Structure 1
Amino acid sequence: MNAWPQWAAGIAAGIAGVLLLVLWSVRRHRPPSLGMACEGDMASLTDSLAGLSLGTVVPGNAVELVLDDAFFDAVEEQIGAARHTVHLENFLWKKGVVATRMTTALCKAARRGVCVRVLLDGMGGRRMGRAARRALRAAGCRVAFFHRWSLRNLGVLTDRDHRKLVITDGHTALVGGHCYTDAWLGDHIPATEQLPAYDVSVRVRGPIVHTLQGAFSENWAGETGELFAGDAVFPPLQPAGAIAMHAAYAKPERSAPAVKILHHAAICMAHRRIQVQNPYFIPKPEAIDAFGAAVRRGVEVRVLMPAIDATDNPVVNLAARRNFGKLLRCGVQLFECHKGLIHQKVMTIDGSWSAVGSSNFDDRSFDTNDELTLGILDDGVARQLDALFERLLRSARPVSLQEWEHRPLHRRLQEHACYSLRQVL
């Protein structure tokens, strides 16, 4: 009587194992080889970088940095000025002051006849709450969720939409790392929030906005089946400035995603300085080797991240610390900031090229999530981001190799355990 259940359990375990192997095989891609030698400065290499990351350099754009809680003022301003369309895509929307402001602005736009489309990640958007969802839909907003929890999404539940994007009338866009929660009010967070978050987004105008509209359309069409066209969403765009830009967001099958290629290839192209600001910095071995190679050819590499007492995810922070020794021995300079959750996803190369977007420097962003990163070729933008790096260093301390090597045993065990779980965090 007991043999059949044991036999059935064995068959079920075998089938599950085969299915997991098939899923791993289908989703697996070769890590990019980062041994390429690149001659020339970033201005001459940007076309190569854009092409490698499945994009095209688009000239004639204007860029404005939007920092910390000023982002929400910028979003409200754009939504308030919209006449035809508002497209908003984000990973996290949580009930609170910020969410109420955004809901009010979107509902007002919809009531005056603007077509409002809101796309939130199925996991991060669950915190929106029924009241806000009903209010948006009652006002006429179209609300969709990326990979909601359901049986038909069972095979893609680990794939999350981590993009952060707002486009109004097809001609102005905000791209960066901001989420819609009260923690992103920075120094002005309510008492209900424990940890302030600081962030960087960019407001862009010019022909690059067509590319960003296409990025929004990708996931919107995937979830709703709706395609949109015409001047309300893809208007003729004249040059708005003199900045050349490109976007990385594609995830080709069996090949490294574009955001991964973008960040890794840029490391190989640096000749003088690499500066990274990222909340979750867990480079894979090939990226660590590329950083080390950059240092050996004379590149200064500095990385700024939140300290463990200033992060919203201590498990990820501990996972990152596992490889601090290898990075430090390679000559990479690591700094931990105590100001709060330094959430911006920024990298500058040689003071002339910058990456700004939604992508963390870890396995989940580079291999699994849907992300969006802008490559910006402009000395002025790079100078502003490097100046922000220097300001935040005042609230940071360098990581010492000697201190890391003498950390207690329990901390080492925590780091190894968290590192083994990093892809599911």
Structure 2
Amino acid sequence: MNWTSIAINIGIVLYILTILAIIYTIILENRNPVRTLAWILVLVLVPGIGLFFYIYFGMNYRKIKMFSMKGLGDFKWLQYMSEDQKQRIKKAELLKKEDMEAVKPLMTLLLNNSKALLSRNNTIEILNNGEATFGSIFKAIAKAKKYIHLEYYIIDKGELGEKLKELLITKAKEGVEVRVIYDDVGSWKLPKRYIKEMKAAGIQIFPFLPVRFPLFTNKVNYRNHRKIVVVDGDTGFIGGLNFADRYLHGLPGIGIWRDTHLKVKGEAVTSLQVVFLFDWYFVRQELLLNKTEYLPNKKVDGNVVVQTVASGPDSDWTSIQQAYFTLINMAKKYVFISTPYFMPGETTINSLKTAAMSGVDVRIMIPYKSDSLLTHWCTRSYVEELLEAGVRVFQYRKGFNHSKVIVMDGLVSSVGTANMDIRSFEQNFEVNLIIYDRNVSRQLGSDFLDDLKGSSEISIHRWKFRPKRDKIRESLARLFAPLL
């Protein structure tokens, strides 16, 4: 036997031992039995490729705590504040008694699963398209006196990207501190020249979890999908719109981009700031959370109660998924859901079907046309079982509806960056505002009903007789749901 044969045999033995070790680890993680068996079969039956897919898509980083609050750990003050607020919830100090009783479970859940602090003195302005959103953001940035903190999944070259760059450079030259975090995969089209110009002007700009090909890393599947702007600790923005021209002008063949963003003033801006500063520490290793100038906790003449919930593989729980699940189960009258991508997983879809079968008016709005064919067909694969349970499903036809909104009984609503899909629940870093306010929730509900006027409701009788080729596409696309 020559040395080549010996090396090959050693390699085979090492590979088998690696696969056995991974299978042992998967079994001990006590995952869903179906997913456990699926991964074991992939590893055994598809040598090499199966190992590749497991490393990049199958490892449970929440279980192994790879990110662990992204290297920073919990702050004692955050723990103290969350415990203090649990006591305030028990005393029903935040809302009217009848409203407080209805929302206590959700408030307490989010304090427990993500230490999502409640804030009381806030105002919220709903921004329903790119023109209103970017106009408001640029106006706030132009007025900045101390600092601008901006965190986005996508910053792209083009009209919006150039305007953002020039405005930030202007503010930096005026002496305003400018910090920018962009996702390295979401913003992969961003030219190096763009970044160099910003750095040359004194802007601190850094990528989140950089991926360098061909040195492919297992971080490619864990992306920062957050969209946060904080100006002087006074004004904040959060929602679904990225800095790319399609979010302003729409897409050819699909139409205008319909989205929902929020402008926030008050104490909730500090909570958005905390999320940004955690991420800043991760990308820059610079601790700013202990500096009071970045945590001003400004109050305004408003009484909107808000809870800012962040979710990602750095947290012990799928916080936003649990929030959605609880919102649906709390509903007594109705639940309105607008999401561009609907691949929710078994737990969430069962809660929707249970609510509808219990007499709750459950309505889901999805796009008629999508910016992604695979997610489009995967979303469609869930429609039939929803219709059979009495859920009403609508397809938005006046462009592409990218809003991520839930409204429950006109009492509580959620707006943020998380889609109703497995990627948002388990893999991406996301952030949502849970809003405990009847006026804001009713306005969001009214906007939803307005969008229904530009939508078509799916009939279960027609849907069942859709072309067989469509059913095949849907079923095949659904196989990729955990990766989309």
Deviation per CA, 1:231-288: give whole Å up to 9, x if none: 5421241244111010111447684321111111111111111000110012212212
CA RMSD of aligned residues (A): 2.4
Cα distance, 1:319 vs structure 2: 0.6
User: Which residue is 2:217 aligned to?
Assistant: 154
Unaligned stretches of 5+ residues in structure 1: 30-39
Q: Decide whether aligned partners of structure 1 residues 138 and 340 sit closer, same or farther in structure 2, where only a CA change above 3 A counts.
A: same
State whether structure 2 residue 281 is matched by structure 1 residue 221.
yes
Q: Which amino acid aligns with 2:394?
A: F
| Distance in 2, Cα, partners of 1:295 & 1:90 | 35
User: Which residue is 2:16 aligned to?
Assistant: 14
Provide the TM-score with structure 1 as the length reference: 0.90
Q: Decide whether aligned partners of structure 1 residues 406 and 231 sit closer, same or farther in structure 2, where only a CA change above 3 A counts.
A: same
User: Which residue is 1:372 aligned to?
Assistant: 431
- Paired residues, what number? 410
| Distance in 1, Cα, partners of 2:20 & 2:145 | 53
Contact 1:272 1:300 in 2 (8 A): yes
Cα distance, 1:194 vs structure 2: 6.3
Cα distance, 1:404 vs structure 2: 2.4
User: Which residue is 1:416 aligned to?
Assistant: 475
1:334-353, aligned counterparts within 5 Å? 334-353=393-412
The sequence identity of aligned pairs, in percent, is 26
1:10-409, aligned counterparts within 5 Å? 10-11=12-13, 13-14=15-16, 17=19, 21=23, 22=25, 24=58, 26-27=60-61, 43-53=100-110, 54=114, 55-69=116-130, 70-150=132-212, 154-186=217-249, 189=250, 195-228=255-288, 229-251=290-312, 255-307=316-368, 310-409=369-468
Contact 1:47 1:57 in 2 (8 A): no
Q: Which amino acid aligns with 1:362?
A: D
Contact 2:117 2:271 in 1 (8 A): no
2:121 partner SS: strand
User: Which residue is 2:44 aligned to?
Assistant: none
1:92 partner SS: coil
| Distance in 2, Cα, partners of 1:41 & 1:267 | 19
Q: Which amino acid aligns with 1:7?
A: N
2:415 partner SS: strand
Q: Which stretch shifts more, 248-257 or 392-401?
A: 248-257
| Distance in 2, Cα, partners of 1:353 & 1:285 | 24
| Distance in 1, Cα, partners of 2:10 & 2:124 | 61
Q: Decide whether aligned partners of structure 1 residues 150 and 121 sit closer, same or farther in structure 2, where only a CA change above 3 A counts.
A: same
1:180 partner SS: coil
Contact 2:363 2:391 in 1 (8 A): yes
| Distance in 1, Cα, partners of 2:167 & 2:109 | 39
Q: Decide whether aligned partners of structure 1 residues 130 and 321 sit closer, same or farther in structure 2, where only a CA change above 3 A counts.
A: same
Deviation per CA, 1:368-390: give whole Å up to 9, x if none: 10000000011111122112112
| Distance in 1, Cα, partners of 2:319 & 2:271 | 14
Deviation per CA, 1:167-202: give whole Å up to 9, x if none: 00112100101111111114xx597x9643221111
Unaligned stretches of 5+ residues in structure 2: 26-54, 64-96
| Distance in 2, Cα, partners of 1:210 & 1:236 | 5
Deviation per CA, 1:196-246: give whole Å up to 9, x if none: 322111111111111111101111111110111435421241244111010
Contact 1:267 1:294 in 2 (8 A): yes
Provide the TM-score with structure 2 as the length reference: 0.79
Q: Decide whether aligned partners of structure 1 residues 298 and 209 sit closer, same or farther in structure 2, where only a CA change above 3 A counts.
A: same
| Distance in 1, Cα, partners of 2:402 & 2:389 | 25
Contact 2:313 2:428 in 1 (8 A): no
| Distance in 1, Cα, partners of 2:297 & 2:426 | 34
Q: Which stretch shifts more, 85-94 or 149-158?
A: 149-158
Say which one has the larger Rg.
2
